[in-house]
Structure 1
Amino acid sequence: MYSTAVMPGMVMFRRRWSVGSDDLVLPALFLFLLHCIWLVVLSVVLFGLPYGSEQSCSVTLVDHGRGYLGILVSCLICESAIMWLSMRGSILYTQPREAVQYVIYIRLAILLVELVYAVVGIVWLVQYYQPCPDVTAKNLALGIVACNWLVIFSVCITLTCTFDPTGRTFVKLKATRRRQRNLTTYTLRHRLEEGQASSWSRRLKFFMCCTRAQDTQSDAYSEVASLFAEFFRDLDIVPSDIIAGLVLLRQRQRSKRSAILDQANNDILAFLSGMPVTRNTRYLDLKNSTEMNMYKDVCYYMLFALAAYGWPMYLMRKPACGLCRLASSCPCTSVSGSRLSQSVTVEEDNCCGCNVLAIRRHFLDRDLKQVQIVYTSCHDAVYETPFFVAVDHAKKKVVISIRGTLSPKDALTDLTGDSERLPVEEQHGTWLGHKGMVYSAEYIKKKLEQEMILSQAFGRDLNKGTMHYGLVIVGHSLGAGTAAILSFLLRPEYPTLHCYSYSPPGGLFSEDAMEYSKEFVTSVVLGKDLVPRLGLCQLEGFRRHLLEVLQKSNKPKVT
């Protein structure tokens, strides 16, 4: 175990790069094999095959090829040294690999010579390829040019992928820390944090290039970029270190799991066996009619949460006949489709109304004809989540169902994970919630009020007493978190409402809000679902455990 607490990225040209000195084994092996193959081929061509010695173009090019043999030998020596040095030490113990950067300097110098050979080869091909009758010389020229440019492009792509825009600032910051210059350290640290946030923002915009930029989306980029920059603060970390840490962490978790299973008595096995292990442990008693009805309601309203995903979920659940059923109901191809979507207010669905049709088919296929869709919003933007409102005459409920994550914009909402105060006047303690989902809940509440959607739903059929129906809010994943927060916003007006939150994200509420939500929110977590266990606090714990397993590792990363 080593005392260092960071994972150093490689420093070259007074700049840190997003690659470790132990990440060069595979790239060096690829170039080594390529140059070995080309060395054998070139030796056979130059010394084993005849060529036209009377042709001046042939003689010049063959001499050029013999000179290239020396370059290949030099490349093989450097690449062998890089592989050998990169496999020394461990993930954190980088001292045995310090000489790697000097070998890379030599290799880059040889690369410049290769570039010259590539340019000369192109010039020869332009001038002599057609008039020169020597086929051997032509193939030799083509091979040298192809090999050179393949290596040059691979190196350029590698440099582009591993370039760290804040690398120079990072090196300066480490140097000033060693010299204990507090003011300079503070300035460089602030510059580094801003640079890292800017880099993450550019990466997010690159991956989200297909979406239209809006002001709220730009704000989300800044929020998420700051989150990632904060997570990687003070870490000289490279992507391969994270992958190696995940592998080591998984191995440690498996060993702990085996140790627990080998114990004669442990709380986990007792809980899974149905034995209460604490005073607060409570199991559903399905023989009790009240609890059985609650369990049935949980299963029933999950149908509404799934229906909110629209046609993608419908096709995934019915891969064989789903497309045919939607096509038969589509207003573009049939008259029945127009009947299915009548008296439904739809916002921003596609031309055939596939989402609202899929929602209707979702209930009709289960013979739930008492469910009537009132409003469907397919509008999807950052902090603006799609949802639909339905009247369930069988249960005598008005249901608001909010869609979960299904688009990159939803992912931005998910990742805006800072805390935000819940916009509720009367608060019992400090009520904080997931920022992105608080904004989404506020958007839906505003939409409900502006369009008077709930008034339409409760006044849908006065003969059936819809004005006395209860209100239920459901959602899955992102929709679950938004539904739980929306229930806080609507509860002053609808005090009897209930929320069914399926796989809500971790870190959704502050403790005070979480305790209060127990009165009207039922959360459902299935098995090993990651989403309910993922929050900012969990990420901090993950960061700490990741560093811990890497510090304890004494094996090279390549193994």
Structure 2
Amino acid sequence: MPGMVLFRRRWSVGSDDLVLPAFFLFVLHCIWLVVLSVVLFGLPYSSEQSCSVTLVDHGRGYLGILVSCLICESAIMWLSMRGSILYTQPREAVQYVLYIRLAILLVELVYAVVGIAWLVQYYQPCPDITAKNLALGIVACNWLVIFSVCFTMMCTFDPTGRTFVKLKATRRRQRNLTTYTLRHRLEEGQASSWSRRLKFFMCCTRAKDTQSDAYSEVASLFAEFFRDLDIVPSDIIAGLVLLRQRQRAKRSAILDQANNDVLAFLSGMPVTRNTKYLDLKNSTEMAMYKEVCYYMLFAMAAYGWPVYLLRKPACGLCRLVSTCSCNTSVSSSRLSQSVTVEEDNCCGCNVLAIRRQFLDRDLKEVQIVYTSCHDAVYETPFFVAVDHAKKKVVISIRGTLSPKDALTDLTGDSERLPVEEQHGTWLGHKGMVYSAEYIKKKLEQEMILSQAFGRDLSKGTMHYGLVIVGHSLGAGTAAILSFLLRPQYPSLQCYSYSPPGGLLSEDAMEYSKEFVTSVVLGKDLVPRIGLSQLEGFRRHLLEVLQKSNKPKWRIIAGGTKCIPKSELPMDDEAPVSQGVTPSSSRLWLHPSDLSIALSASTPLFPPGRVIHVVHNHPPEMCCGQEEPTYSALWGDNKAFDEVIISPAMLNEHMPHVVMDGLNKVLENYNKGKTALLSAAKIMVSPTEVDLNPETIFLDTSNSPQPTPATHHRRNSSVRGTVYGTIQFPPRPLWFSRNAESRC
């Protein structure tokens, strides 16, 4: 950062990104130099053969090229390792060395062409085996280097690079009209470039006319986010490493303070005296939590065979193969007797996988009524089932599983909810509003809910309740669909697992708490992402890049060893340019990037009441590491406004991981391992009653009353200042104070 300028054009690579490529070429050329030297000066060859003599002269010339390459590549490595991310003055000579290296590459290209000509003319008739192998090796090495350089240039090419350089030059000269024209041209070029990338990514799909605007909207979003932002991809990686260290340092500093209410951090979230854990001792709250765990199975089943095989790669494949038939006529006739299927594959794998999810749990009273596997932008797959055990009709909406779903996710502008009676201005995620409208229209046109409620009148299905569930994209769509269907079904309930953070406006979010329950696991990234959160995330990313005085390669390498604290200044007020001469401070600060602001976006929040499943990691012991302890607490919708950088932020969004986390809360509760903050009197006592997660899917009507606690487990990272006021039961099991500081 900033991007390197070559041939009067900006490239999507920084001058400090060349350490690894130069090292790779340096090693390759060193090896080839040794091999070539041994062949030319150590092994005999026939001086009587014209092919051998010609090739030896050619090889000696190539030795000179190799020596020149090694000198240039060592210079590039040395220069690229100097300075810091923003302090680019020590690396100014890199571009001139690159010009020299590219000139040598042209000579290598000539030698590669000559080598091919020699192979065509002499390879077959030449009897000298050494000469043949030497020629083949030279040609292969040459073309490997040439293709690697061409591929790198293609990947780092910035279509708007020339306009970007002109814009910077006119800014320095203060030409306002020219600057405005160039800025407009740059924004159009960036949007066009992102649109081409998206279409290339979606090359195997056919976009409908009604969906073609998704490309332009998402491209405009990316162009807006990176507008005037002179960074390269490796800067983002380094920034994430630094931002993670900054967040962890801030949490440690808060815990060390004596005059605040934060007692601990669980999954990166502060726990205070006002934090409310789920009271699983209460039978009503326990029953509600069991319902949350139960319907997660429906949300996970909507993913069909991919997630089913992900959870059970061996036996799951055998079970699907044993029950499916790729004979289209047999399969369709068999499935049509019990379920309406739209656009499943010839073997009906998705429907079979949905059924297997319930049969594996011995839920034989769940009947699938309708399954739509149709997948398009703003048109999300879903299925409808009748659960006779719970006396519910369930609509389960699939999450992101295809590039089309990703486009729906990325269309994140706010859109007015199409609900007639609104208490204020209700806004929602645009892509998910359109998806919810599509599902509602589908339900009405196909009369799917009428079929579900009339499935078995002898069992009273007409009086069943309605439940809408979903995970990720499906969670956001399910919450908005609940708004659309609630006028017809006032008693419906929605369970939204890992919903997107930028989903509902504040007034709509508050209203949704009457019928929506959301679940967030740990440091999941998706519930913390929205357009309004992206501006803060970008600002924090640029701040840590600005304050870092370490080379980029050291920062990224440090991320593999739990990120040393030395990679980031701990004092936020410390001067940024310590040790930097006044002449270089302008390059160090890079003020044009830090003054950028995104267009104002309406703040959107996760829906409903939020159950936040948190956990801590006990310390490692000589005989291994103890399993983390999971707890469930009531989260604040507005608290998910910052992305917590962690290796688990993507993994904890996976549907099977969310289900395991929900079940582990019950397991820890049953074993007496639930987190305890005695100083704040935040306690969930264990029980001796069997709460095995498998029993959730069998009988959840009567929740057992808990028995008194036998022993407690203390929360991680609890402030030491309150230890004196805590009275612990005999033989307490302590949590690690350093849980937040390990990977």
Would you call these one fold, judging by a TM-score over 0.5? yes
What's the offset of the Cα at 1:339? 6.4
Specify the alignment match of 1:401 in structure 2.
396
What's the offset of the Cα at 1:264? 6.3
What's the offset of the Cα at 1:8? 0.9
What's the offset of the Cα at 1:377? 1.0
Unmatched runs of 5 consecutive residues or more in structure 2:
552-740
Deviations 1:171-218 (CA, angstroms, capped at 9, x unpaired): 011111111111111111111112112222222222222323333443
What's the offset of the Cα at 1:115? 1.3
Deviations 1:67-105 (CA, angstroms, capped at 9, x unpaired): 222222222221222111111111110111111111111
> Which segment is superposed worse, 120-129 or 79-88?
120-129
What's the offset of the Cα at 1:235? 0.9
What's the offset of the Cα at 1:432? 0.9
What's the offset of the Cα at 1:499? 1.1
> Which segment is superposed worse, 381-390 or 526-535?
526-535
Given that 1:326 and 1:357 are in contact with CA atoms closer than 8 Å, whether structure 2 keeps it comes out as yes
Deviations 1:405-457 (CA, angstroms, capped at 9, x unpaired): 12221111111111111111222111111111011000000001101111112
Change (3 A) 1:26 1:467: same
Deviations 1:2-60 (CA, angstroms, capped at 9, x unpaired): xxxxx210001000011111111121122222222222232333333333333333333
Q: Secondary structure at the match of 1:267?
A: coil
Given that 2:267 and 2:523 are in contact with CA atoms closer than 8 Å, whether structure 1 keeps it comes out as no
Change (3 A) 1:58 1:545: same
Q: Distance in 1 between matches of 2:264 and 2:285?
A: 22
Change (3 A) 1:154 1:270: closer
Q: Distance in 2 between matches of 1:404 and 1:368?
A: 23
Specify the alignment match of 1:73 in structure 2.
67
Change (3 A) 1:472 1:77: same
What's the offset of the Cα at 1:402? 0.8
Q: Distance in 1 between matches of 2:353 and 2:430?
A: 31
> Which segment is superposed worse, 118-127 or 267-276?
267-276
Change (3 A) 1:425 1:191: same
What's the offset of the Cα at 1:534? 1.6
Q: Distance in 1 between matches of 2:215 and 2:261?
A: 43
Deviations 1:445-503 (CA, angstroms, capped at 9, x unpaired): 00011011111122222333322222211111111100000011111222222211111
Given that 2:264 and 2:272 are in contact with CA atoms closer than 8 Å, whether structure 1 keeps it comes out as no
Q: Secondary structure at the match of 1:10?
A: strand
Change (3 A) 1:364 1:25: closer
Q: Distance in 1 between matches of 2:319 and 2:742?
A: 52
> Which segment is superposed worse, 54-63 or 434-443?
54-63
Change (3 A) 1:365 1:55: closer
Specify the alignment match of 2:11 in structure 1.
17
Q: Distance in 2 between matches of 1:62 and 1:558?
A: 58
What's the offset of the Cα at 1:231? 1.3
> Which segment is superposed worse, 326-335 or 274-283?
274-283
Q: Distance in 2 between matches of 1:106 and 1:489?
A: 65
Change (3 A) 1:229 1:434: same
Identity %: 94
Change (3 A) 1:85 1:23: same
What's the offset of the Cα at 1:349? 1.5
Deviations 1:356-407 (CA, angstroms, capped at 9, x unpaired): 2222232233233332222111111111111111222232222111111122
Change (3 A) 1:102 1:442: same
Tell whether 2:419 aligns with 1:424: yes
Given that 1:347 and 1:378 are in contact with CA atoms closer than 8 Å, whether structure 2 keeps it comes out as yes
What's the offset of the Cα at 1:335? 9.2
Specify the alignment match of 1:236 in structure 2.
230
Given that 1:122 and 1:145 are in contact with CA atoms closer than 8 Å, whether structure 2 keeps it comes out as yes
Given that 2:392 and 2:467 are in contact with CA atoms closer than 8 Å, whether structure 1 keeps it comes out as yes
> Which segment is superposed worse, 399-408 or 479-488?
399-408
Q: Distance in 1 between matches of 2:235 and 2:241?
A: 10
Specify the alignment match of 1:271 in structure 2.
265
Given that 1:340 and 1:357 are in contact with CA atoms closer than 8 Å, whether structure 2 keeps it comes out as no
Deviations 1:482-527 (CA, angstroms, capped at 9, x unpaired): 0000011111222222211111110101111111111111112122
Given that 1:505 and 1:535 are in contact with CA atoms closer than 8 Å, whether structure 2 keeps it comes out as yes
Change (3 A) 1:89 1:558: farther
Change (3 A) 1:85 1:331: closer
Given that 1:330 and 1:338 are in contact with CA atoms closer than 8 Å, whether structure 2 keeps it comes out as no
How many residue pairs get aligned? The number is 553
Q: Distance in 1 between matches of 2:477 and 2:391?
A: 23
Given that 1:329 and 1:337 are in contact with CA atoms closer than 8 Å, whether structure 2 keeps it comes out as no
Deviations 1:519-558 (CA, angstroms, capped at 9, x unpaired): 1111121222222112122222221111111111111199
Change (3 A) 1:84 1:467: same
Q: Secondary structure at the match of 1:261?
A: helix
Q: Secondary structure at the match of 1:334?
A: helix
> Which segment is superposed worse, 325-334 or 438-447?
325-334
What's the offset of the Cα at 1:266? 5.8
Change (3 A) 1:59 1:300: closer
Change (3 A) 1:429 1:20: same
Which of the residues 368, 392, 415 maps onto 1:373? 368
> Which segment is superposed worse, 480-489 or 177-186?
177-186
TM-score normalised by the chain length of structure 2 = 0.70
> Which segment is superposed worse, 201-210 or 254-263?
254-263
Specify the alignment match of 2:121 in structure 1.
127
Q: Secondary structure at the match of 1:271?
A: strand
Given that 1:17 and 1:164 are in contact with CA atoms closer than 8 Å, whether structure 2 keeps it comes out as yes
Change (3 A) 1:353 1:266: farther
Given that 2:331 and 2:346 are in contact with CA atoms closer than 8 Å, whether structure 1 keeps it comes out as no
> 1:473-488 maps to which residues of 2 (within 5 A)?
473-488=468-483
> Which segment is superposed worse, 103-112 or 349-358?
349-358
Change (3 A) 1:110 1:421: same
Deviations 1:209-239 (CA, angstroms, capped at 9, x unpaired): 2323333443222222221111111111111
Q: Secondary structure at the match of 1:29?
A: helix
Q: Distance in 2 between matches of 1:275 and 1:158?
A: 41
Given that 2:416 and 2:428 are in contact with CA atoms closer than 8 Å, whether structure 1 keeps it comes out as yes
Specify the alignment match of 1:166 in structure 2.
160
Q: Secondary structure at the match of 1:335?
A: helix
Change (3 A) 1:391 1:516: same
Q: Distance in 1 between matches of 2:248 and 2:365?
A: 49
Q: Distance in 2 between matches of 1:39 and 1:364?
A: 64
What's the offset of the Cα at 1:273? 13
What's the offset of the Cα at 1:323? 2.9
What's the offset of the Cα at 1:267? 4.1
Q: Distance in 2 between matches of 1:550 and 1:341?
A: 59
Given that 1:458 and 1:469 are in contact with CA atoms closer than 8 Å, whether structure 2 keeps it comes out as yes
Cα RMSD for the two superposed structures: 3.1
Given that 1:9 and 1:16 are in contact with CA atoms closer than 8 Å, whether structure 2 keeps it comes out as yes
Deviations 1:308-337 (CA, angstroms, capped at 9, x unpaired): 122223333344433333334335599999
Change (3 A) 1:52 1:291: closer
Structure with bigger helix share is 1
Given that 1:89 and 1:97 are in contact with CA atoms closer than 8 Å, whether structure 2 keeps it comes out as yes
Change (3 A) 1:58 1:271: closer
Given that 1:341 and 1:356 are in contact with CA atoms closer than 8 Å, whether structure 2 keeps it comes out as no
Change (3 A) 1:175 1:451: same
Q: Distance in 1 between matches of 2:286 and 2:23?
A: 62
Change (3 A) 1:80 1:328: closer
What's the offset of the Cα at 1:281? 4.2
Change (3 A) 1:461 1:129: closer
Q: Distance in 1 between matches of 2:15 and 2:393?
A: 60
Given that 1:245 and 1:546 are in contact with CA atoms closer than 8 Å, whether structure 2 keeps it comes out as yes
> Which segment is superposed worse, 24-33 or 259-268?
259-268
Q: Distance in 2 between matches of 1:422 and 1:251?
A: 39
Given that 2:251 and 2:265 are in contact with CA atoms closer than 8 Å, whether structure 1 keeps it comes out as no
> Which segment is superposed worse, 91-100 or 45-54?
45-54
> Which segment is superposed worse, 172-181 or 52-61?
52-61
Change (3 A) 1:318 1:33: closer
Given that 2:320 and 2:353 are in contact with CA atoms closer than 8 Å, whether structure 1 keeps it comes out as yes
Q: Distance in 1 between matches of 2:284 and 2:203?
A: 51
Given that 1:216 and 1:382 are in contact with CA atoms closer than 8 Å, whether structure 2 keeps it comes out as no
Q: Distance in 1 between matches of 2:126 and 2:388?
A: 87
